[in-house]
């Protein structure tokens, strides 16, 4: 008998929404190049511009501020590499798609520390900015809106407001947040924001950088005038259609967030009751409603993930981008989590289709897995 599958790894990628699939199938019949002026080209262009409006509406941006990319990784790279920055401030628990390009810059770098609860400590941001020489030129800062491993929501609006008087260009990686919590580009006060299609039920391989009007940024990919000369290359019309439809569906489904939060809270409460020693990381602060990072001291996350997979549940040992690597989580290291706890941290991330029955069955599988003597580290 085949074991039924329950998908609880939405932070790695969310299953394709029905609305996105339908939009992509319809777009496949529009074969024109969206840069062509004939009827076929205009039909393809209409699909791209409709999706631009849909993505903009999700995050309260103007359609003209949406620059389509191949994903949030490219959007981050464009934000970080689109100018010659003289100084950069960033969180030490950011996603690798921010940390890697930042650390390659020829600029004065400053890392923000992370508190034990998973919130980046921004208390030193004003002092950092005030000490910059007036001749330093373009200055950049980046703080993700929600951490993909812990789900902890970061104080981006406060961060941007603190740095605004100093003319700092503030970027936020909102790949995990957009579609899972209300995101307001205007209210956050940032100049640049990255979003991802597949994190909200769109296709993989498409995302966007939101660029506030008046923010200068140079293209990394050149050779064409697409996306207002900010990203050369013929737009992936089919993927963009799916991204736009997913963004619209996610915006309409934001009223489900309290229901998902209740399921997540019930999952954590049950696990804490049933398994002695379990630790919910980041539980004391605001988190994404769908995300739970649960650690079992004395167990290894990789083994737990395998056991749960055999029981029919898809979860992650930390971030999916690190799967298969024998390395500790830099996020948990930044938080000061002990190695014994960090080694046993499993991320469970819920989605729109998660049910109370899914949670009940997962808790039973978790209890069985963590009670197996063979799982000892």
Instruction: Indicate which residues carry an active-site annotation.
Output: 321
Q: Are 290 and 180 in contact (CB under 8 A)?
A: yes
**Nearest Cα to Cα of residue 267 among 365, 189, 201, 194:** 365
Which residues pair with residue 316 across a beta bridge?
A: 347
DSSP-assigned letters across all residues of 150-208: T-BBP-HHHHHHHHGGGT-EEEEE-TTTBTTB---HHHHT-SEEEEESGGGTS-SS-EE
Antiparallel, parallel or unpaired: β 291-295 and 345-349: antiparallel
Calpha distance 117→348 (Å, rounded):
18
Cα distance between residue 54 and residue 195, in whole Å: 13
Alpha helices in the chain (DSSP H): 18-27, 39-59, 72-81, 96-103, 125-130, 156-163, 185-188, 226-229, 237-252, 257-274, 301-310, 330-335, 339-342, 356-370
- Cα–Cα distance measured from residue 323 to residue 147, given in angstroms and rounded to the nearest whole number: 17
């Amino acid at each position: 008998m085949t074991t039924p599958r329950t998908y609880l790894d939405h932070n790695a990628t969310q299953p394709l929404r029905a609305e996105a699939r339908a939009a992509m199938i319809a777009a496949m019949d529009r074969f024109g190049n969206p840069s062509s002026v004939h009827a076929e080209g205009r039909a393809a262009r209409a699909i791209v511009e409709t999706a631009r409006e849909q993505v903009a509406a999700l995050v309260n941006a103007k359609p003209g501020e949406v620059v389509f990319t191949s994903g949030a990784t490219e959007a981050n790279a464009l934000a970080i590499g689109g100018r010659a920055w003289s100084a950069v401030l960033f969180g030490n628990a950011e996603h690798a798609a921010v940390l890697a390009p930042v650390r390659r810059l020829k600029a004065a770098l400053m890392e923000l520390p992370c508190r034990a609860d998973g919130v980046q400590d921004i208390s030193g941001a004003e002092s950092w900015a005030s000490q910059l020489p007036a001749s330093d030129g373009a200055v950049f800062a980046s703080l993700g809106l929600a951490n993909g491993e812990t789900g902890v929501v970061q104080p981006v609006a406060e961060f941007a407001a603190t740095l605004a008087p100093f003319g700092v260009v503030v970027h936020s990686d909102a790949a995990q947040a957009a579609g899972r919590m209300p995101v307001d580009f205007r209210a956050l006060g940032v100049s640049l924001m990255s979003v991802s299609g597949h994190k909200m039920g769109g296709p993989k391989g498409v995302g966007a950088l939101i660029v506030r009007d008046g923010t200068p940024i140079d293209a990394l990919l050149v050779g064409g005038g697409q996306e207002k000369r900010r990203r050369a290359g013929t737009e992936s019309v089919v993927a963009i259609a799916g991204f736009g439809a997913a963004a619209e569906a996610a915006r309409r489904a934001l009223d489900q967030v309290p229901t998902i939060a209740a399921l997540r809270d019930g999952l954590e409460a049950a696990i804490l009751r049933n398994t002695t020693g379990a630790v919910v990381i980041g539980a004391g602060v605001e988190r994404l409603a769908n995300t739970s990072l649960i650690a079992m001291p004395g167990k290894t996350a990789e083994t737990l993930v395998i056991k749960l997979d055999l029981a029919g549940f898809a979860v992650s040992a930390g971030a999916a981008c690190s799967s298969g690597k024998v390395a500790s989580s830099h996020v948990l290291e930044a938080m000061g989590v002990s190695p014994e706890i960090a080694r046993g941290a499993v991320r469970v991330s819920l989605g729109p289709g998660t049910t109370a029955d899914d949670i009940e069955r997962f808790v039973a599988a978790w209890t069985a897995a963590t009670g197996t003597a063979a799982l000892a580290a």
